């Protein structure tokens, strides 16, 4: 066990030098008495609350409950506001700024007198960003998920945010509903604090954080407004104080086995394709090699057990009351590393020994899965030499083996302008191709990957087509959308060479994505290709463009993913 003089914060507050005196004097300026903080673990609460982030609008209050737990356990809480990454509002995409929040997290934990950290987030990019930064900082840390919002309602229907937005927007474009219905849907789609209540990127990544061992058991699926969420926040604050005294650091929790189990869990959830990029980046911060091939190999062994939209029927509130993530994991113990430690100090196996499932339709049994294989497949071929992904569980089955002529759009503006142009001759057999939307080309790899289906096909009842891009898509989206094509077109990947009318073959069972054009013709096209001008001339965007890696490498900054230690600051 640690002693008070062993605390990292002791270097700021505990000595007899001028700087120690100054730090204590400034603590008095803040209104704190010596007995309130001296000799106690200082807990940094990194809060992504913001007025413009509806997913996190309750985290200002939850931080108070975290502080309550810290105080009760004998710690000293300090709240730090950090960047909020609002999927709803931040343009062109918060993915552009995931690494910025990761950098901020790491440097705050490194540069202040902090002994342990509580990381508060949940909206898509905030979870991986906070965990990436904390992994690089290396302190004891625990994650408090924002939690999913309540179910949406419209007339007599249950709505899932994101998923039903896409569905009803297509119905509006097809002329099946009008402005009055859309106005009602607008008020009922998202009706409480919290993240999307489907198995989108938010719940996929908070579930990944839980199985990684970074949260208290069951934390990921507690609805944001449930009183259990208040209690979880307080218990997390108390637990991180104990972690400091135990010197249970993040590196002891995030090992290779943990990341393997995270992949297994994401696949069993039918989770978001974005998890592929985020987990690769997170593992990189832990100096653990992880690749897209790991996802495909594990996917062939893992059934989908979570019957949650967009790949299933229910929502996160139902999932929580059916037993939550511990319930699901209790049905996968033979596929998990149950002997590894979690932030609780107990092993994963000890936590799952008391887990139960209360609804076998929401959390399926192994002999009655939603799908026999994990919901994400990794594709390769001459169109994606470094790989691409598809969430095939959310696509119409007849499209999983398909050959059709390409209709190419150079960027998202071009797509919006021309998608309904009758002159393009788009049919349901066409393959829609969007380029210029990857990590550099987007910029930031926006969620453009669920390309809109032309209005005339929607009116005929067509709701899915093969779509290919170097973009991402929302975890709440669905359809036969091939994503993360790497290398991206902006750097001269094969997607840059596709022309209208080229035949493209998608074969998910064979894990193949092939442009039916011979090598000589592709070489001739490549000789004519010219790289586009960089989108940023200065600032953070310029830094991003110089150091961002491709989708198959996790889209981290190369200088953050590399091995190496930074010196501890001299606090005196």
Task: Read off the pLDDT of residues 139-194 as tens digits, 9 standing for 90 and up.
Answer: 999 999 999 999 999 999 999 998 899 899 999 999 999 999 999 999 999 999 99
CA dist 501 and 515 (Å) reads: 11
How buried is residue 567: exposed, middle or buried, by Cβ count under 10 Å (0-12/13-18/19+)? exposed
Using CA atoms, how far residue 349 sits from 221, 336, 435, in Å, is 19, 9, 45
CB neighbours of residue 421 within 10 Å: 11
The contacts found for 459-462 with CB under 8 angstroms, 24 or more apart, are 459/174, 459/175, 460/428, 462/428
CA dist 201 and 462 (Å) reads: 26
CA dist 447 and 430 (Å) reads: 21
Q: What is the pLDDT of residue 333?
A: 98
Alpha-helical segments (H) within 77-225:
98-111, 126-137, 163-173, 179-188, 201-212
Domain 377-528 falls in which CATH fold?
Glucose Oxidase; domain 1 (3.50.30)
Burial 21-52 (b: 16+ CB within 10 A, else e): eebbeebeeeeeeeeebbbbbbbbbbbbbbee
Q: Which of 62, 79, 72 is nearest to 114 (CA)?
A: 79
381, 513 contact by CB (below 8 A): yes
482, 514 contact by CB (below 8 A): no
How buried is residue 156: exposed, middle or buried, by Cβ count under 10 Å (0-12/13-18/19+)? exposed
445, 438 contact by CB (below 8 A): yes
Q: What is the pLDDT of residue 375?
A: 83
Phi and psi torsions of 10, nearest 5° = -60, -30
Please enumerate in sequence order all residues whose Cβ is within 8 A of that of 67, keeping only pairs 6 or more positions apart, or say none.
45, 77, 79, 237
CA dist 362 and 492 (Å) reads: 44
Listing DSSP states for 126-169 in one string gives: HHHHHHHHHHHH-S-EEEEE--BPPPEEETTEEE-TTHHHHHHH
303, 366 contact by CB (below 8 A): yes
C-alpha 451 chain-centroid distance? 20
Q: What is the pLDDT of residue 565?
A: 85
Using a cut of 0.85, tell me whether the model's pTM lies above it.
yes
Based on its alpha-carbon atoms, the radius of gyration of the chain, rounded to whole angstroms, reads: 24
Please enumerate in sequence order all residues whose Cβ is within 8 A of that of 425, keeping only pairs 6 or more positions apart, or say none.
407
Structure tokens at 64: 């108070």
Q: What is the pLDDT of residue 312?
A: 93
What's the half-sphere exposure (Cβ side, CA atoms, 13 Å) at 404?
Answer: 21
148, 197 contact by CB (below 8 A): yes
Q: What is the pLDDT of residue 572?
A: 62
CB neighbours of residue 472 within 10 Å: 33
H/E element, 505: strand 503-507
446, 470 contact by CB (below 8 A): no
Residues of the chain with CATH 3.50.30.80: 377-528
Q: Which residues pair with 78 in a beta bridge?
A: 44
User: Per residue in 513-560, pLDDT tens?
Assistant: 999 999 999 999 999 999 999 999 999 999 999 999 999 999 999 999
Q: Which residues of the chain have pLDDT under 70?
A: 571-572
CA dist 525 and 494 (Å) reads: 10
């Amino acid at each position: 066990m640690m002693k008070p003089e062993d605390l990292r914060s002791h270097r700021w507050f505990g000595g007899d030098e001028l700087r120690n005196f100054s730090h204590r004097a400034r603590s008095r300026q803040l209104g704190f008495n010596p007995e309130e903080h001296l000799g106690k673990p200082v807990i940094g609460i990194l809060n992504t609350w913001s007025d413009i982030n509806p997913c996190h609008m309750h985290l200002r209050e939850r931080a108070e409950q975290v502080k309550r737990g810290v105080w009760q356990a004998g710690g000293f809480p300090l709240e730090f506001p950090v960047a909020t990454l609002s999927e709803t509002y931040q343009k062109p995409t918060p993915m552009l700024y995931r690494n910025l929040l990761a950098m901020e997290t790491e440097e705050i934990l490194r540069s202040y007198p902090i002994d342990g950290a509580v990381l508060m987030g949940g909206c898509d990019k905030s979870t991986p960003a906070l965990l990436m930064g904390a992994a690089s900082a290396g302190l004891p840390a625990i994650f408090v998920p924002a939690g999913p919002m309540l179910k949406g309602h419209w007339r007599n229907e249950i709505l899932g945010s994101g998923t039903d937005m896409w569905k009803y927007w297509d119905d509006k474009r097809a002329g099946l509903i009008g402005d009055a219905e859309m106005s009602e849907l607008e008020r009922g789609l998202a009706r409480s604090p919290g993240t999307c209540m489907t198995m989108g990127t938010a719940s996929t990544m908070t579930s990944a954080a839980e199985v990684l061992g970074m949260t208290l058991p069951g934390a990921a699926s507690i609805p944001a407004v449930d009183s259990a969420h208040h209690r979880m926040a307080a218990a997390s604050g108390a637990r991180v104080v104990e972690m400091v005294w135990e010197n249970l650091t993040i590196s002891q929790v995030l090992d290779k086995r943990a990341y393997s189990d995270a992949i297994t869990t994401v696949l069993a959830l039918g989770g978001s394709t974005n998890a592929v990029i985020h987990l690769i980046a997170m593992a990189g911060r832990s100096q653990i090699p992880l690749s897209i091939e790991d996802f495909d190999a594990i996917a062939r062994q893992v059934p989908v057990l979570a019957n949650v939209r967009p790949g299933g029927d229910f929502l996160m509130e139902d999932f929580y009351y059916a037993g939550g993530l511990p319930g699901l994991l209790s049905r996968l113990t033979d596929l998990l590393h149950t002997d590894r430690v979690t932030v609780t100090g107990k092993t994963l196996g000890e936590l799952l020994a008391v887990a139960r499932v209360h609804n076998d339709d929401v959390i399926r049994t192994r002999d009655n899965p939603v799908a026999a294989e994990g919901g994400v497949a990794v594709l390769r071929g001459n169109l994606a030499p470094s790989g691409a992904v598809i969430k095939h569980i959310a696509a119409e089955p007849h499209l999983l083996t398909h050959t059709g002529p390409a209709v190419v759009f150079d960027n998202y503006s071009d797509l919006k302008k021309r998608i309904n142009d009758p002159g393009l001759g788009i049919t349901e057999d066409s393959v829609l191709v969007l380029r210029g939307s990857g990590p550099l080309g987007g910029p930031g790899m926006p969620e453009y990957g669920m390309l809109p289906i032309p209005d005339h096909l929607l009116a005929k009842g067509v709701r899915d087509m093969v779509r290919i891009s170097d973009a991402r898509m929302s975890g709440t989206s669905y359809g036969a959308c091939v994503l993360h094509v790497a290398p991206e077109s902006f750097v001269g990947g094969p997607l840059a060479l596709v022309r209208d009318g080229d035949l493209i073959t998608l074969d998910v069972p064979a894990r193949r994505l092939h442009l039916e054009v011979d090598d000589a013709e592709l070489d001739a096209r490549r000789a004519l290709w010219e790289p586009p001008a960089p989108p940023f001339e200065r600032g953070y965007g310029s830094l991003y463009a110089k150091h961002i890696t491709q989708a198959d490498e996790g889209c981290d900054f190369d200088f953050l993913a590399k091995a190496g230690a930074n010196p501890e600051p001299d606090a005196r």
